[in-house]
Amino acid sequence: MTRLSVNINKIATLRNARGGNIPNVKTAAINCELFGADGITVHPRPDERHIRYRDVLEIRPVIKTEFNIEGYPSDKFIDLVIAARPDQVTLVPDAHDAITSNAGWDTQRYRLFLTDVISTFKAEGIRTSIFVDTIISNIENAAYTGTDRIELYTEPYAAIFDSDAPGAIEPFITAARIARDAGLGVNAGHDLNLDNLRYLCQNIPWLEEVSIGHALISDALYLGLENTIRMYKRQLSD
């Protein structure tokens, strides 16, 4: 079954809006796992506008399942990941001022850079994943970097799902097959929600992990965190 990793960035955003430590992101991480999440994802950015670097180090010891750190591989980020030693690091090509991830890597242009970064993490025993779109050449070149997995950037899928679900999923099925044939594990994330998640997983049953934050935390405001996580898990298992 596809695993659910809950991105808790938005909880940190709420905390930072007021200052102090309410809501407590470490407690949130513990509760997400208690309520059924298969892992926790954090995406620290250079301005620390949500998850702070200190949060990452404080959360790491309490994670009992999987811990995934996303981010652009700057020197500071690399040092943080090595210090935290997560189960997985997901490399994203975000500009320092990006509001949210909005593109995958050009793995041909940045192939040597990514290969070097990935070798650093793999030497530390950390599984690696590269955030990519469905362009076939980007997936093929991702395989040459030595990465363990890719994470498919699913915003284009979510954007047209309501109007054309078969058309929305088709390039993602093709991309996932190419990745699988190249020996890569396949994750997915961005704009996945209770409406479009099941269809994605039904059509790509070898999908290993989805990382979901914004929609899940937003749903939790209305439905409760425990109930929401269970609802997302049902989308992955039904």
Active site amino acids: 43, 70, 190
Beta-bridge mates of residue 151: 131, 187
Distance CA 205, CA 187 (A): 11
Torsion of Cα atoms, 63 then 67 then 70 then 73, to 10° = 100
Alpha helices in the chain, H assignment, sequence order: 9-18, 25-34, 53-59, 75-84, 111-123, 136-144, 155-160, 165-181, 197-203, 214-223, 225-237
Task: Tell me the torsion sign for CA atoms 174, 69, 39, 147.
Answer: positive
Hey, what amino acid is at 147?
Answer: T
Tokens at 177, concatenated: 């097959």
Residue 237: CB atoms within 10 A of its CB come to 10
Contacts of 17 (CB under 8 A, 6+ apart): none
Are the beta carbons of 112 and 106 closer than 8 angstroms?
no
Q: On the CB side of 172, how many CA atoms lie within 13 Å of its CA?
A: 29
